[in-house]
Amino acid sequence: MEKKIYRIICAVVITAIFIFGLILTMLCRSFYTDREKQELRNVGRLIIGSELSPEEMSRRLNDVYAFEIGVTAFSRDGTVIYNSDRTYSENADFPEVSDAFETGEGEREYEGGERDIFYFAVLCDDTVIRFSREKDSVYAVYVSLLPAFGVSALFGVISAVIASRRLSAQIMGPINALVQKLDVVKKKGGKIKDVIGLYSDYEELAPLTDAAEEMSKRLEKYIGQLKNEKDRIKLITANMVEGMVLIDKERNILSVNKSAVNMLNPDFPDDSREKRNITELTKSEELIRLLNKSEEMSSVSSSINIGELYLRVFVSRAETDSQRKCGTVIMLVDETEIRRTEEIRRDFSANVSHELKTPLTTIKGFGEMLGNGMYTDEDDVRRYGSRIYSESERLLQLINDIIRLSEIEEQTAVQLERADLMQIAEDTADILMHKAEQLKIQLTVTGKPAFMMINRSYMTELMLNLADNAIKYNNPGGYVNIDISQDNGGTVITVKDNGIGIPEESQARIFERFYRVDKSHSRQTGGTGLGLSIVKHITAYHRGNVKLESRLGEGTCVTVSFPVNSQIK
> Do the beta carbons of residue 562 and residue 424 sit within 8 Å?
no
Instruction: From 141, 165, 183, give the residue that closes a domain.
Output: 141
Strands 442-447 and 479-487: parallel
Q: What pLDDT is attached to residue 228? A: 82
Q: What pLDDT is attached to residue 494? A: 94
Instruction: From 409, 436, 470, give the residue that closes a domain.
Output: 409
- What angle (nearest 5°) sits at the alpha carbon of residue 345, between those of residues 341 and 351? 140
- Shared-domain flag, residues 390 and 433: no
- Shared-domain flag, residues 429 and 552: yes
What is the number of structural domains in the chain? Answer: 5
Q: Is residue 165 part of a domain?
A: no
* 212: amino acid identity, one letter: A
Q: What pLDDT is attached to residue 522? A: 47
- Shared-domain flag, residues 317 and 258: yes
Q: What pLDDT is attached to residue 515? A: 64
Q: What pLDDT is attached to residue 192? A: 53
- Shared-domain flag, residues 14 and 133: yes
Q: Is residue 10 part of a domain?
A: yes
Task: Give the phi and the psi of residue 455 in degrees, each rounded to 5.
Answer: -95, 110
Contacts (Cβ under 8 Å, ≥6 apart) of 370: 381, 384, 385, 388
Q: What pLDDT is attached to residue 62? A: 77
Q: Is residue 322 part of a domain?
A: yes
- Shared-domain flag, residues 442 and 353: no
Q: Is residue 482 part of a domain?
A: yes
Helix (H/G/I), strand (E/B), else coil: 482 = strand
State pTM to two decimals: 0.40
- Shared-domain flag, residues 370 and 430: no
Taking the C-alpha atoms of residue 486 and residue 375, their distance in angstroms, rounded to an integer, is 59
Q: Is residue 32 part of a domain?
A: yes
Closest CA to 264 of 333, 339, 317: 333
- Shared-domain flag, residues 405 and 470: no
Q: Is residue 520 part of a domain?
A: yes
Q: Is residue 151 part of a domain?
A: no
Helix (H/G/I), strand (E/B), else coil: 502 = coil
Q: What pLDDT is attached to residue 521? A: 46
Q: What pLDDT is attached to residue 200? A: 46
- Shared-domain flag, residues 207 and 283: no
pLDDT in tens, the chain (569 residues): 556 666 776 777 777 777 877 777 777 667 767 777 777 787 777 777 677 788 888 887 777 776 778 888 888 877 888 888 654 445 557 888 888 888 888 888 877 656 678 888 888 888 888 888 876 555 555 566 667 767 777 777 777 777 777 776 666 666 666 666 656 555 555 555 555 454 445 566 566 666 766 776 787 788 888 888 877 777 777 677 788 888 888 888 888 888 888 888 888 876 655 678 888 888 888 888 888 888 877 788 888 888 878 888 888 887 765 556 678 888 888 887 777 766 666 655 555 555 566 667 777 776 777 777 776 677 777 776 777 776 676 667 667 666 666 666 666 556 788 889 999 999 999 988 998 999 999 999 999 999 988 888 888 888 988 998 899 889 999 999 999 998 877 899 999 999 988 888 877 777 776 666 655 444 454 555 677 887 888 888 888 899 999 888 889 999 999 987 554 43
Which letter does DSSP use for residue 198 in this model? Answer: G
Taking the C-alpha atoms of residue 166 and residue 163, their distance in angstroms, rounded to an integer, is 5
- Shared-domain flag, residues 317 and 360: no
- Shared-domain flag, residues 283 and 317: yes
Taking the C-alpha atoms of residue 90 and residue 119, their distance in angstroms, rounded to an integer, is 13
Q: What pLDDT is attached to residue 325? A: 60
- Shared-domain flag, residues 126 and 209: no
Q: What pLDDT is attached to residue 397? A: 63
Q: What pLDDT is attached to residue 150? A: 73
Domain limits at 404? Answer: 340-409
- Shared-domain flag, residues 313 and 358: no
Helix (H/G/I), strand (E/B), else coil: 274 = coil
Q: What is the CATH number of the domain that holds 523?
A: 3.30.565.10
- SS3 sequence of 333-356: EECHHHHHHHHHHHHHHHHHHHHH
Taking the C-alpha atoms of residue 129 and residue 56, their distance in angstroms, rounded to an integer, is 12
Q: Is residue 176 part of a domain?
A: no
Instruction: From 283, 312, 334, give the residue that closes a domain.
Output: 334
Q: What is the CATH number of the domain that holds 50?
A: 3.30.450.20
